[in-house]
Amino acid sequence: MSVSIFDIINNVSPAGWVIVIGSFFTAVFWAVIFWQDIKNRSSKFFLFFSFVVFMWGSASVFFNASIGTPFIYNAVTILYFIAGFVAPTLFFAIDAFSNKESRHPFKKFAIVFGPYLILSLWFFKPGFIVGYERLAGVTDGRIVFGELFAIYIFYSVTLMVLGARNLIKKYQESAGIFRHEMRDFLITFIVTASVALAGTLFSPIFTKNQDYFWIGYIAGALPFLIISGFIFIKYSFLNIKVIATELFITIIVFVLIAELFIASSFTDLLIKTGVTIIIIFSSSFLIGNVRREIQSKEKITRLLLDLDRISQRLKVLDKKKSEFLSIASHHLRDPLTVIKGYSSMLLEGSFGDIPQAVKESVEKIYTSSGHLITMISDFMDISRIESGNMKYVFADVDIKKLVIDLADEMKQNADRAHLAFSVEVEDEAVSGEHFITVGDDGKLRQVFSNLIDNSIKYTPSGKVSVFLKKSTDGKKIIFNVYDTGIGMSEDTIGKIFKKFSRAEGVSKVYTEGTGLGLYVAAEIIKKHEGRIWAESKGEGQGSSFFVELEAKK
């Protein structure tokens, strides 16, 4: 009876095919992982190990299919010869996983593989390590183990134990995420290696057949490779989506190539080849795209995380700055108020008449301390606004009364600056009976005084006029301060309500400004659900500031 290799292939059971195909794709899985970073030592050794496992699985399937044929004598030798490589390649995979680059890689290779290569010479003498015995009367036979089989087992088991010892050591030494990786890997190794050893090495010895071989293989070797792959992906931060896409496409390509071998005719072969080529090209394009897209997504995620961290940090800094400002401002303002108070009393003659020269100096002290107080108040307001601690007490406010009161004070400032100053309130007959709004009296006073102050400050000569009127429908109160001062460009108008912003060049001439007054004013008006805005025909053409508030019905 002549049996060809094809007859044996035909003999392969469905379970056999599962083993061959499963271990083939497990090797492909590792090839894809390796492909992500071809410089990585561990994935290189794992790929090699997965290839040996594939060969070993195929050899065992071949062995099973050869039972009852003359090939069985060779099949058993091939099987055990290949199986002998499993332990050393596994040892190297684990070693690469748990160790840095070895200083003497070749020496290590020689020490690990050397003994096996010498031992494997005895495979040429059937029966010394392993053999097969046909039994009379039965279609099947049994594996027989020779004198050197004990050395063969000793070699394999020793390497696995050494590998496990390396892993345990590494696990104990490592910390953080690497320790987790080692832990997961160690558990996987111990469980799957025990199953694999029991199934593939010890069960044939005790049962004298290969019936349980597949358990060791399918429940031991393959899960070990697959789970280690996932552990590797997880802890090396490889992208599982890229790997899944590549694996999926590779499987499709292999299936298409396999299809070529079963083409029914030449035309069929041509069509299938064409389809395969198109799919290979388009899928390499697809993989490239997936990679690029994922990379840019990862980059964006990283940037977002960075931004988030930075913004958190900035928030903390900003809060600290506000706290500091608030404390510092309090400490500065109190003594300044005392200075201003006493200089005012001096000027008013509370301590008797003072000579003109002294009066002039005291006046300067008075104005300067006033400026400083405004500035500090602005700083304090900023820190209150930013920390959300600005308190408002809303009640009915008579804007007309407020503006007239204020005008009295402001007139003195305008006089001192040699500016004409006027206040005009629309006749109540036109505007309706009152100018009452619901608001915070002190805060609104602060806004109007700031606007009038600014007009006086930024007007070298000419006049400052204040108007108060109602909108035509009577629903709004409109406050307007108009001056013939330095004016503003459109660009300036666009930014003056922002924090710390002043017109370009203005700080050289008007040194005492901070650029905070209008920001604070805008915040206050916002809380009153009103509007504040500025108008100017341009630089040197004067400015007009408006505030619009809801009139109480």
CB nearer to ligand ADP: pick between 476 and 499: 499
CB nearer to ligand ADP: pick between 114 and 442: 442
The encoded tokens of residue 455 equal 């007009």
- Closest approach, Cβ 502 to ligand ADP, in A, equals 3
- Hey, CA dihedral for 367, 371, 376, 381, is it positive or negative? positive
Nearest to 146 by CA among 129, 132, 163: 129
Asked if residues 283 and 255 have their Cβ atoms less than 8 Å apart, the reply is: no
CB nearer to ligand ADP: pick between 94 and 520: 520
- Closest approach, Cβ 383 to ligand ADP, in A, equals 16
CB nearer to ligand ADP: pick between 23 and 514: 514
Nearest to 518 by CA among 431, 459, 434, 451: 451
Gap between the Cα atoms of 290 and 282, Å rounded: 12
CB nearer to ligand ADP: pick between 271 and 509: 509
- Closest approach, Cβ 324 to ligand ADP, in A, equals 20
Identify the residue whose tokens are 């020793």: 158
Determine the 3-state secondary structure of 34 from DSSP.
Answer: helix
- Closest approach, Cβ 332 to ligand ADP, in A, equals 17
Phi-psi region of 515 (alpha: psi -120 to 50; beta: other; left: phi over 0): left
CB nearer to ligand ADP: pick between 366 and 510: 510
CB nearer to ligand ADP: pick between 16 and 517: 517
CB nearer to ligand ADP: pick between 437 and 449: 449
Gap between the Cα atoms of 248 and 159, Å rounded: 34
Q: At what angle do helices 86-98 and 105-120 cross, to 10 degrees?
A: 170
Gap between the Cα atoms of 333 and 488, Å rounded: 31
Determine the 3-state secondary structure of 189 from DSSP.
Answer: helix
First to last CA, the chain: 114
- Closest approach, Cβ 342 to ligand ADP, in A, equals 25
Cβ neighbours around 257 below 10 Å, total:
13
Gap between the Cα atoms of 470 and 352, Å rounded: 47
CB nearer to ligand ADP: pick between 79 and 516: 516
- Hey, CA dihedral for 293, 295, 296, 297, is it positive or negative? positive
CB nearer to ligand ADP: pick between 225 and 520: 520
- Closest approach, Cβ 422 to ligand ADP, in A, equals 16
116-123 LR contacts (CB < 8 Å, sep 24+):
116/84, 116/85, 116/88, 116/155, 119/84, 119/148, 119/151, 119/152, 119/155, 120/81, 120/84, 122/146, 122/148, 123/77, 123/80, 123/81
Nearest to 217 by CA among 29, 64, 94, 28: 64
CB nearer to ligand ADP: pick between 48 and 545: 545
CB nearer to ligand ADP: pick between 349 and 505: 505
CB nearer to ligand ADP: pick between 242 and 423: 423
- Closest approach, Cβ 466 to ligand ADP, in A, equals 12
Rg (CA), the chain: 45
Pairing of strands 436-439, 130-134: unpaired
Paired strand residues for 468: 425, 479
- Closest approach, Cβ 379 to ligand ADP, in A, equals 11
CB nearer to ligand ADP: pick between 517 and 530: 517
- Closest approach, Cβ 541 to ligand ADP, in A, equals 10
- Closest approach, Cβ 444 to ligand ADP, in A, equals 16
- Closest approach, Cβ 302 to ligand ADP, in A, equals 39
- Closest approach, Cβ 347 to ligand ADP, in A, equals 25
- Closest approach, Cβ 362 to ligand ADP, in A, equals 24
Binding site for ligand ADP (CB under 6 A): 454-455, 458, 483, 485-488, 496, 502-503, 506, 513-519, 543
Cβ neighbours around 264 below 10 Å, total:
8
- Closest approach, Cβ 515 to ligand ADP, in A, equals 4
Determine the 3-state secondary structure of 5 from DSSP.
Answer: helix
Pairing of strands 531-536, 543-550: antiparallel
Nearest to 200 by CA among 183, 217, 184: 217
Residues whose CB falls within 8 Å of the CB of residue 415, separated by 6 or more in sequence, listed in order: 421
Paired strand residues for 534: 545
Q: Give the residue at shortest CB distance from ligand ADP.
A: 513
